[in-house]
Chains A and B, each alone.
Chain A
Amino acid sequence: MKTCLIVTTCFLVLCSHTTSLYAQEPLRFAPLVPMSKEYTTLQFANFCVTLAKITKRDVNLVLLENYADILNALAENTLDLAYLGPLPYVIATQRNPHITPLVRFLDQTGETEYTCALVAFGSSELPPDITSVALTQPYSTCGFLVTESLLHHYDLSLESTPYTYSGNHEHAALAVIRGYASVAGVKTSIAREYANLGLNILLQSEPVPGFVLVGNSATLSSAELQHLRDELLKGAQTPGAVFTKKPEDAITKHGVIPVADEDYDGIRQMLHDHPVPELAL
């Protein structure tokens, strides 16, 4: 914990030095829920510098423990910017109408969308006895939301099938391989990574839009938001975290495209049809 604080402090000092000319209040930006605060800080360092250059304001990286805290902060207007997956974006817009999509990020394959998959071990057929379903976490699009819709193809439902949250896609996949769960709902790309361990994709979802950068119009002016959107789109490679070769850097490395709230209507509809019990509003 001490190390985390030191690294965070160093980063904040770095940011404050880099943008020391900016006299306005710093922007509060929440990235992904961090597996490791240091790692996340490292991942988003260059993107923060880019944001600061565009807005001419200092940027504070706000590292919150989970999506619930991020969404609460957005709802309470204590965040100016956030990096959200599709489901959290939809929830955020439902809770705070000031949440405005700015740009969508491409993944490492250059795709603007991704799919979720229902996976099983050792067979491309649905196991006859589904004892348990492994899910990532409640705010994951590939979690309860999409998995529930995928299971409907087999006339199954999570309402009648036991499920557990493993925490992330990797753990959900490994839970199936280790036999802790019969099937799991994970990102298709993750599922493919574990094919070498006998993980088979049973079914893939329709593509869902990728991660989105949102702004809070309650704390930022329309002009600022538009300026930010324009500048990010202007330099397609601008947010690139060139210093890192981590796959996760695809978040910022591979560029952005314009985004519209309507892009997420499918998710919004899915959430409406299959509300996540853990996210009961």
Chain B
Amino acid sequence: MNSITRTTLVFLLMLVAGAILIFYRYDQLSEGHLELSTSSQRTAIDSTLNTYKLLSDTIFSEIINTDETLTLVNSIVESSGDQRNLQRGLLYRKLAPIYERLRPTNVRQLHFHCPNGNSMLRLHTPAHSGDPLFDIRSSVEIANTELREVHGYESGRVFHGFRHVYPLIFEGHHIGSVEVSTSFFHIQDQLKQLEKTNKTTLEFILYKPDFWNKLFAELQIFYSPSGLHTDYVSESADQISFQCRDRVEDLSLVSKIKEKLLQDPNVQHKMEQKQSCNCSLMYNYATYSVVFHSIKNIEGNHAAYIVAITPEPFLAEIRSNALQLFSIYIFLLSALYILRLRFVSLLTKQQQHAGFLQNISDNMGIGLYSTNKKGIITFANTAAIALLGYDKKDLIGQHAHNLFHIPLANNTDNCFCDQILSAGAKVHTDHVVFWSSNANAFPVEVVCTPLYDKKNIVGTATVFQDISKRLHQEQKLMDAQEKLRKIALQDGLTGIPNRRSFDQRSQKIWRSAMRRSQPLGLLMIDIDHFKLYNDHYGHQKGDDCLTRIAKLLEQACKRPDDFVARYGGEEFVVLLPNTNTQDCSQIGKRMLAMLAHLNIPHQASPTKPYVTVSIGCCSVVPNGTTSMADLIACADQCLYHAKNNGRNSVSAPDLTRNIKTDA
């Protein structure tokens, strides 16, 4: 897995984690708000229901539970036939005006029941009476059998509502019961009065299995599907307006929200479980909370929901904040991701470059190490480790100078690195010896350059190579060169300097003599009848003869500065610094004597039976008007004289001051 993939995975992970965190927080806030909203709505509902209970209690105690009313009720119970109808009519006559006055206080039903559970008188639908109630109205049954008050929601044949049923006791006898009930719409009106802003839309949906079969069949048309769940119905607008009062609600909004709730599996599940629940949803760019308050019937079973739909700007705000936060998070994370990608890209390139350099440094065959400002080794390549013989761990962190720097010069305490660090100059030297780990010293050529961080020197980089082999090769080369040089200036046969050597040396000697104003003598020597010797003895003997004569000439020249050379063929020259003509002549004669003494046989020579030479000698004090050529010409001319004078002789001019004149 490469760095980019890793970075992308981390980015996605952080994105998901951030999204979860942000939306978890939003969800918590949202749920908290919804719970608060639910709780406050429930409190308001309970408070309103309690208000109506108090109102019902008051109606019962002040209007119903009076002697006059109870007497009428009792007379109904105790009578039958037309008499009962008459008494019922009288009860209606008495209570109808009161009921009319109670209607505006949202009392929906005032219903008397007989002790046997049959309907006695419905003030709201007086034409209907006599029908049995025990089988469909638990509250009536409880009030008439247990003789206790019952309060709670209950459906019925005509109306459903929040009922308050009181047993009627007249002169110690149970004479039936009476109920005062209120519809949800009256509760809704009261809730709306409680809520000043009045933005909550309330709807009461009834759980069909709880009431449908109780309802008078002709009243079923007043109920329509709730639009929220198939098990729930709502009272139709017609019924509501017909029986209560006109409700002004935004029906389109409610129906649209219902459509959304119908598609919400969570809400549907909760409704099937008959549980209270809440949710938030968006419609037309606005956020709404929807709270389902489960309403239990007298038996404690779920019977209906009060559905409260409330615009929730706070939820919209926290949702917006969460989205903003998430957007910012994405932006920052993306920026971080891009930067990281760029960094990874650069790092990869750098690593590739470093690897490339490492590869080069490891394979370049010369040592490379770097130090920090204190001379501590921070890096060493493979070649350096191999040359110095240390493990890498033994090198890194060590002081280079103390470990292996030994300069060749005497001042051994100075390190070339110190020069770098003090002057910032590059050092290139081969006057350095490094010590390997096994205490072997080896000469190295070192190039040490400063390392900069911006303008500050932070250390050095040193490239070195073992030059011991090179030095050895150089020495051998020098020796060979010297040998060649010598061969070039030496006569191969006789081993004395040759004509080239003479030409070079004569100029130097000439200039030296001229500087010193000293005479310079020159002997030009030629073996007599050497051709005859060769012819007679062969060239091998000829060569031996030349060698013996050359050695003789060297032996004849005693001074170190005297210079003997083979001039060509059987001719030799001898340069005699600081020697005048007379002395040159003496030296020549000595040579002749020595040669005679050497006595190299020469049977073919007409001069002597041994080898002889003719010598022309000349000496001048060099100045600006004469030259070496002049001196050679003078000596050569004297040699010519010596040849002409019978050979085996020395010929010299008379005066040394003017060679030309002498010649």
Contacts and interface: CB of A to CB of B under 8 A. Distances in A.
A pairs with B: yes
Interface of A: 1-4, 6-7, 35-36, 38-39, 42, 121-122, 170, 174, 177-179, 193-199, 243-247
Given A198-B82, A244-B221, A246-B218, A6 B242 contact: no
A194 B93 contact: no
A193 B82 contact: no
B248 interface: yes
B221 A42 contact: yes
A3 B127 contact: no
Nearest to A3: B237
Interface stretch (B19-27, B83-91, B327-335, B542-550): B83-91
A247 B238 contact: no
B32 interface: no
Contacts of A7: 237-238
Given A2-B248, A42-B221, A245-B218, A198 B85 contact: yes
A179 B246 contact: no
B126 interface: yes
A247 B242 CA distance: 16
A121 B220 CA distance: 32
Interface of chain B, main secondary structure: helix
A177 B242 contact: no
Interface string B212-241: 000001101100000000000000111001
B251 interface: yes
B97 A178 contact: yes
B218 A174 contact: no
19 contacts: A3-B248, A6-B251, A35-B242, A38-B236, A38-B238, A39-B238, A121-B86, A122-B86, A174-B96, A193-B127, A196-B130, A197-B89, A197-B92, A197-B121, A197-B127, A198-B86, A245-B221, A246-B221, A247-B218
A244 B96 CA distance: 30
Interface of B: 82, 85-90, 92-93, 96-97, 121, 126-127, 129-130, 217-218, 220-221, 236-238, 241-242, 246-248, 251
Contacts of A179: 93
Contact of A196 (B85, B90, B242, B246): B85
A42 B238 contact: yes
A3 B249 CA distance: 9
Nearest to B126: A197
B253 to A, nearest CB: 13
Nearest to A173: B127
A3 to B, nearest CB: 5
B120 to A, nearest CB: 10
Contacts of A194: 126-127
B146 to A, nearest CB: 28
A197 B242 contact: no
B242 A36 contact: yes
A3 B85 contact: no
Contact of B127 (A1, A196, A244): A196
Contacts of B220: 245
Contacts of B130: 196
A1 B96 contact: no
A36 B87 CA distance: 33
A196 B131 CA distance: 12
Contacts of B251: 6
Contacts of A245: 217-218, 220-221
Contacts of A195: 85
A178 B92 contact: yes
Nearest to A177: B89
Contacts of B121: 197
Nearest to B91: A197
Residue in A2, A122, A178, A196 whose Cβ sees the most chain B Cβ within 10 Å = A196
A212 B18 CA distance: 75
Contacts of A4: 241
Nearest to A124: B82
A243 B221 CA distance: 8
Contact of B237 (A35, A38, A121, A178): A38
A194 B237 CA distance: 28
Nearest to B86: A198
Given A1-B246, A198-B82, A121 B241 contact: no
Given A1-B246, A42-B221, A198 B238 contact: no
A243 B217 CA distance: 12
Contacts of B248: 2-3
Query: 6 closest A-B pairs (Cβ-Cβ)?
Result: A198-B89, A38-B238, A198-B86, A197-B89, A193-B127, A198-B85
A174 B126 contact: yes
A244 B217 CA distance: 9
Contacts of A42: 221, 238
Nearest to A246: B218
A131 to B, nearest CB: 15
A196 B218 contact: no
A36 to B, nearest CB: 5
Nearest to A123: B86
A193 B126 CA distance: 9
Nearest to A198: B89
